[in-house]
Structure 1
Amino acid sequence: MVNKLEDLDFTGKITVEELLLILKKEASDISMTDIMTAHTYLVAEGKYVQGNYREEYLKAYVKGFILRLKEIKNNQNKFKGTVNACELKEAVELLNEQEQMLFKIRSKESHFFKIYKIISIYTTFVLDEPIHIVGTPFPGNLKVKYENGTYFCPVKEKQKDNPNAVCGFCIAEQDENV
């Protein structure tokens, strides 16, 4: 059995079930210390967020990233179908490039990034949901929304070419009202 995302055979079919098993394995390798360090990092980064939505921002990130680890570990749903191996490969490569860049610049982010990587792949390719949960706030009192079966992000268009963003493989569409 493949134990890491990087070890997947991206030339063949990858089932959602197979991907979930790998993500469960990777999530189980994250320690409580990693989780506490990631939480501390999020709180520290929150100081740069505008005060009027800092608390909502932190709740969204803790719920959307840290608490989802437990969801992955305990997920007993049976998923059918396959993932788009090409898109998954591109997502894994992008996340690996971001990880390498972060290690060179700020290694204190590595604990959060491990979680971020797992959750980004999980939400996109297993749950078919956006990486940021519905309600995640952005500057200007903007939020990720879900309307009529479609997820909308207020910043996707502005971030799609940002090499530090995962917007390129997130399933949310640009909120045209922004």
Structure 2
Amino acid sequence: MKESVEELAQSGELTRMQLLELIKKEASQVSIQDIMRATSFLTEDAKYMPTVYREDYIQRFSKAFFGRIRDLKNDICEYEGKVDTNRLQGFLEVLERQRNEAKSEYELCFLKIARLISLYTTFIREEPVHPVGTKFPGGFTMRFEGGKYLCPVKERQLKNPSALCRFCVSVQDESVE
């Protein structure tokens, strides 16, 4: 069996269940200390955000880190279908660039957990990386409506080479200009 997500992505044939089993194995090695370091990084990284967004951002993402890692570790669902390995390879390249640019152990913990959560939500659950209810500057919120995930910043973020938005299942919220 392949040992890493990167090896599986390069193999060309990958089921959602194969990917799930591998990231579950990685998630089982995430400790509470890793989550605490990641939360500390998140808090430090958000220090220049406007207060009204910062508190919600930190709370929502800290909760998402705990919740999504728990969901991933305990997921017993059967997921049909294959993973688009070309899309997955592009996704992994963005994550690797982010990891190479990390400036601290705390940021590396954040990126390790964010990688697992992002892989899980994007390729297994087919949900957006940002949880529904995430608030963005300008008072805009990630929503689920009419069977679609509506993101208020997707189009703007598509130009950002470090953003995972181009891989996200959400669509631009057309009510946001």
- TM-score (structure 1 length as normaliser): 0.91
Verify: 1:41 aligned to 2:41, yes or no. yes
Q: What does residue 50 of structure 1 align with?
A: 50
Alignment counterpart, residue 135 of structure 1, candidates 133, 136, 157: 133
Measured after TM superposition, the shift of residue 177 of structure 1 is 1.3
Measured after TM superposition, the shift of residue 9 of structure 1 is 4.6
Cα offsets for 1:107-138 (capped at 9, x unmatched): 43111000111111110110010000000011
CA distance in structure 1 between the partners assigned to 2:31 and 2:64 by the alignment: 18
Task: Give the match's secondary structure for 1:68.
Answer: helix
Q: What does residue 169 of structure 2 align with?
A: 171
Q: Which runs of 5+ in 2 are unaligned?
A: none
Q: What does residue 23 of structure 1 align with?
A: 23
RMSD of aligned Cα (Å): 1.5
- CA contact 1:27–1:69 (8 Å) conserved in 2: yes
- CA contact 2:35–2:66 (8 Å) conserved in 1: yes
Task: Give the match's secondary structure for 1:8.
Answer: helix
Indicate the percent of aligned positions where both proteins have the same amino acid: 41
- TM-score (structure 2 length as normaliser): 0.92
Alignment counterpart, residue 115 of structure 2, candidates 114, 117, 123: 117
Give runs of ≥4 in structure 1 deviating > 6 Å. none
CA distance in structure 2 between the partners assigned to 1:62 and 1:48 by the alignment: 18
Task: Give the match's secondary structure for 1:57.
Answer: helix
Cα distance change, pair 164–107 in 1 and its aligned pair in 2 (3 A): farther
- Aligned length, in residue pairs: 176
Task: Give the match's secondary structure for 1:67.
Answer: helix
